[in-house]
Structure 1
Amino acid sequence: MSNDTTLVLGATGNTGRRVAARLRLRDTHVRAASRSSRTPFDWFRPADWDQVLQGVTTAYVVPPAVPGPVHEFVARAQAAGVRRLVLLSGHGADDWGDSAFGLDMRSAEDAVRGSTLEWTVLRAANFAQNFVGPPFRAPLAAGELALPAGTVPEPFIDLEDVADVAAAVLSEPGRHAGRVYELTGPRGLTWAEAVELISRASGLPIAYRQVSPAEYTAALVQEGWSEDEAHLLTEMFVLLERGATAWTTDDVATVLGRAPRTFEDFVLRAVAAGAWLR
């Protein structure tokens, strides 16, 4: 077991907890950090960062939902002796143009890619597991998912594949330096096709309905989302409808030597866990 320490930010989140577990199985010394973990980390309390970074050689970075803080974090990491950064970002970020969506991820990429440290960026498509969490699970369980998404496909990526790739990259210094990996599933599905697969496998009557961006924003606000949060999620769907993220890649196979999991595989596991039972 190496004496090097790998810092995992967002360690109680979707990818962070999976990445930390995989690294521990590889006998990597992990410092798991989040606002609610034993090692506290808050993107808006930079005074505490130096202690978190002490003795760290590699860091897995899940950026905050606002642009800016990752720039200071990278500077602090470099000063603390960190040698490698692996950043989670979004699929096709180079093609997002003037979209209001993803400014946080693009800012984080600028910070990491502009540093003198060894870096790797993992750009993930929409997670398949988003269908079992907010804001999609409750409408699916109620029998209808209404989104501003039409016939443009999305190459949903399984979170388990994202975590497998992240753990591999974090464990292989030098091999992935300066690489940007676009992580997608093996094929694209429309959101309506994804809902149909969920309905068929679960045996539940679940329908998909396309709504306008304005209708979707209003529905989110009615559910309790803030105006800003609702607007940003709607902007993601507006961006997806441009086709900016519709393409697939072989990058999961490049890193892992195997194909990514299918959406059907995710659905079967979710149904077995009772994900959409009312």
Structure 2
Amino acid sequence: MARIGITGATGRIGGMVARLLENGPDELVLIVRDAACAPRGPWRVRTTTGYADPANREALAGLDVLLMVSAAESADRLDQHRAFVASAAAAGVPHVVYTSFLGAAPDAVFILSRTHWATEQALRASGMALTVLRDSFYLDFLPKMAVDGVIAGPAGDGVVSAVAQSDVAASAAAVLADPAPHAGATYELTGPEAIGLARVAETVTRLTGVPTRYRNETVEQARASRARYGVPDWQLDAWVSTYTAIAAGEVAAVTDDVRALTGREPLSLERLLTR
């Protein structure tokens, strides 16, 4: 019996992974900020104040494999990740499964991919075994990109191989249940096809009855239309780069990795909206 640690268990991915593994033979340990917010289930709960908490070394002690769900977007996310990696290594965690991003690279168009790439490098340098799950944009998020019935952004005619959150969770659970064969592997988790935002809008309209359309913007228009939210520049740039990454073809790759890990075909947008 292995002891599996799961971070982000109060969020969507970590919570789904915990549920998928709850009836297995392994012992689950959820690492959360607030024990009162942890899902109820047959697992242990350990608390920390966040990824940069020095107490993480104690919270991670005794684990055989750890799911490291990337921290919430912030200006210091990379610093948080590096601190957490250091704590995991110091705690003697032998194997980490990290949720990264498709096309992670130091010069990625999608700005947040750069942080994922740097985190991967920190994990590789740590001496711990590593499995990387590079997921595409979430399929669940695409319909939510519409504001007042319009998906607007500088994506041009680009396409995105978006993947359902449930498929990411199932892939992570499959790796955690038998991690040894996946040590050193990088998986690119995508949906079954790459689709453009105009087709996303058409599909949402057709299947939900909510009129939705896509409007291409310039980068300048996109920044101006989002400036009203009053977010810091790094966040505004990240939002806009979601679309420019699609335009650049950075998230267009389609792989068979979800099926290879889970034994099932990944969800399409049509199936997600009608299930």
Name the TM-score class by shorter chain: 0.7 to 0.9
Structure 1 residue 199, shift from structure 2 partner? 0.7
Counterpart in the other structure of 1:119: 130
**Partner residue, 1:276:** none
Q: Tell me which of 24, 29, 35 is aligned to 1:26.
A: 24
SS in 2 for 1:111: helix
Query: d(CA) in 2 for partners of 1:101 and 1:237?
Result: 12
The structure 2 residue matched to 1:181, chosen from 187, 212, 231, is: 187
One-letter identity of the residue aligned with 2:98:
L
Unmatched 5+ stretches in structure 1: 270-278
Instruction: For residue 46 of structure 1, give the secondary structure of its aligned residue in structure 2.
Output: coil
Aligned to 1:273: none
Compute the TM-score of the two structures, normalised by the length of structure 2: 0.87
- Aligned counterpart for 1:155 among listed residues 161, 182, 200: 161
Gaps of 5+ in 2: 37-45
Alignment deviations for residues 144-173 of structure 1 (CA, whole Å, 9 cap, x no partner): 221221211101101111000000001112
Seen in structure 2, the aligned counterparts of structure 1 residues 80 and 101 have a Cα distance that, compared at 3 Å, is: closer
Moved more, 5-14 or 33-42: 33-42
Distance 1:97 1:169, change over 3 A: same
Q: Given the alignment of the two structures, is residue 102 of structure 1 paired with residue 109 of structure 2, yes or no?
A: no
Mapped contact 1:144–1:209 kept (Cα < 8 A)? yes
Change (3 A) 1:162 1:76: same
Aligned to 1:53: 60
Q: Please say if residues 107 and 114 of structure 2, whose CA atoms lie closer than 8 Å, have aligned partners that are also in contact.
A: no
Matched, 1:41 2:48: yes
Q: Secondary structure of 2:87's match?
A: helix
1:174 is aligned with what amino acid?
A: A
* 1:55 aligned counterpart, secondary structure: coil
Deviates more, 1:17-26 or 1:157-166: 17-26
- How far has the Cα of 1:88 moved from its partner? 0.2
One-letter amino acid of the structure 2 residue matched with residue 158 of structure 1: A
- Residue by residue over 1:25-46, the C-alpha shift from the partner in whole angstroms, topping out at 9 and shown as x without a partner, is 3243222223334533344542
For residues 120 and 12 of structure 2, the distance between their equivalents in structure 1, rounded to whole angstroms, comes to 20
Tell me which amino acid in the other structure corresponds to 1:52: A
Q: What one-letter code is carried by the residue in structure 2 that aligns with 1:122?
A: L
| The 10-residue stretch of structure 1 (13-22 or 180-189) with the greater mean CA deviation from structure 2 | 13-22
- CA contact under 8 A between 1:165 and 1:252: conserved in structure 2? yes
Give yes or no for the alignment of 1:93 onto 2:91.
Answer: no
Inter-CA distance 73–223: structure 2 relative to 1 (3 Å threshold): closer
SS at match of 1:22: helix
- When normalised by structure 1's length, the TM-score is 0.86
Match of 1:265 in 2: 271
Counterpart in the other structure of 1:11: 9
* Secondary structure class of the residue paired with 1:56: coil
Contact 1:18/1:160 (<8 A) preserved: yes
User: Do the aligned residues in 2 keep the contact of 1:122 with 1:182 (CA within 8 Å)?
Assistant: yes
Counterpart residue identity of residue 228, structure 2: Q
Residue pairs, 1:241-256, within 5 angstroms: 241-256=247-262
1:240/1:98 Cα in 2 relative to 1: closer, same or farther (>3 Å)? closer
- State the superposition RMSD in angstroms: 2.1
What does residue 69 of structure 1 align with?
80
Alpha-carbon offset, residue 9 of structure 1? 1.1
Among residues 232, 248, 255, which one is paired with 1:226 in the alignment? Answer: 232
Structure 2 residue identity aligned to 1:76: S
Aligned residues: 262
C-alpha change, 1:36 and 1:222, in structure 2 (3 Å) is farther
Tell me by how many angstroms 1:197 deviates: 0.3
